[in-house]
Amino acid sequence: MVPLSYYVILSAIVFITGVVGVLIRRNIIIILLSIELMLNATNINFVAFSSYFQNVVGQVFVFFALTVAAAEVAVGLAIIIALYRSKSSINVDEFQLLKW
């Protein structure tokens, strides 16, 4: 039986990897993947605590999270394609449209 703390530490490591990936990588696809990492880190947490508390709600939540993540990737990729078509680049530095 693996103790709960191992799962939590793993989840934290994956989450921080995701955060750092979002913050430092320039490639927009990598950023999207990093976001997925962060989502899955939370999923690990949900599942771990679900088994720890013997409560199935956590696992149900994970299915929702996975579904939403799938939809989000679809939208995200569509946006990336649109951006690529307008700028011929997927380098996030080039997109400064939110500036006044």
**Contact footprint for other proteins (CB under 8 A):** 19, 22-24, 92-93, 95-100
Q: How far is the CB of 98 from other proteins (least distance, A)?
A: 5
Residue nearer to other proteins on the CB measure, 23 or 75: 23
Residue nearer to other proteins on the CB measure, 24 or 56: 24
* Cα 79 from Cα 96, distance rounded (Å): 15
Q: Are 59 and 44 in contact (CB under 8 A)?
A: no
* Cα 36 from Cα 28, distance rounded (Å): 13
Residue nearer to other proteins on the CB measure, 33 or 59: 33
Residue with tokens 């693996």: 2
Q: How far is the CB of 24 from other proteins (least distance, A)?
A: 8
Taking each helix axis from N to C end, the angle separating 57-87 and 28-53, rounded to the nearest 10 degrees, works out to 180
Q: How far is the CB of 25 from other proteins (least distance, A)?
A: 9
The closest alpha carbon to 45, from 32, 62, 33, belongs to 62
Residue nearer to other proteins on the CB measure, 13 or 57: 13
